[in-house]
Amino acid sequence: EKLKNSISTLESTIPKSDIRENAISKLKIRISEIKNLRNSISISKLLGIEGQCARVYFSCWQGLPLNWEGARRKPIPPSWGGFSTRTMGWRKRSRAARHPVNSMLNYGYGILEHKIQTNILARGFDPSIGIVHGNRENRIPFVYDLMEPLRPTVDLIVSDFIKRNAFSPSDFSINKWGGCRLCPQMASRLTESLIAVLVENITSSFSKFLL
């Protein structure tokens, strides 16, 4: 489901190009592989496919421009002019995002996590019992299991938000770890764009996977 939704987001967000079409083709091939391996696929194999697909998917985001206002008065890092990479290997926590786009994506995933956990608890499920994401560091693996198909929906909302808005350097701050964070007013604007769409999609997703 995540790969299907990733294809839909690419088709809706990224202008048609050889890079986009090649990425969509690779994602479709991976979907076919998963279907063929349905009876024997391991968790490690599944996570490997997911990681490869994520790299292909976000490679299409490279060059996504951000419109800036007031950057002459308060200069921004040169890399903030457009999106380059989703990779944040030097530190995995959301506080470590070094680019506004990654910061907005992380914030959106945080909203998604909160909404799904609320729904899980309301329906009587235990968020600590997961299928794919269980490990010592993750206390709510079932939440992350259910987040995966909806991550591309967050991506779509964030991409649309970026296209519709001009940003000010004051919309973001840099914390003591060097991470880019959303300022409160910016976070509030993005939340308004996220909530209604996510609630609708979470309800639909729960109906499909849990009922």
**Predicted confidence (pLDDT) per residue in 10-62, tens digit:** 999 999 999 999 999 999 999 998 888 666 788 888 889 999 999 999 999 99
For 114-154, write each residue's pLDDT tens digit. 999 998 999 899 999 988 887 677 889 999 999 999 999 99
Whole-angstrom distance, CA of residue 166 vs CA of residue 56: 28
Rounded alpha-carbon distances, angstroms, from residue 174 to 61, 77, 91, 180, 195: 23, 11, 15, 5, 25
Phi, psi for 102 (deg, rounded to 5): -65, -35
**pLDDT, the chain, mean:** 88
What is the SS3 assignment for 172? strand
Rounded alpha-carbon distances, angstroms, from residue 122 to 37, 115, 126, 140: 34, 11, 10, 15
Is the pLDDT confidence value at 89 over 60? Answer: no
Element (H, E) at 106: helix 100-122
* pTM for the whole structure: 0.90
- How many residues are recorded in the chain? 211
Is the pLDDT confidence value at 208 over 80? Answer: no
Contact 70, 170 (CB under 8 A): yes
What pLDDT shows up at residue 98?
Answer: 86
Nearest to 202 by CA among 124, 127, 146: 146
Is the pLDDT confidence value at 81 over 60? Answer: yes
- Tell me which DSSP letter residue 44 carries: H
Which residues share a beta bridge with 172? 182
What pLDDT shows up at residue 90?
Answer: 45
Nearest to 109 by CA among 76, 86, 126: 86
Contact 161, 188 (CB under 8 A): no
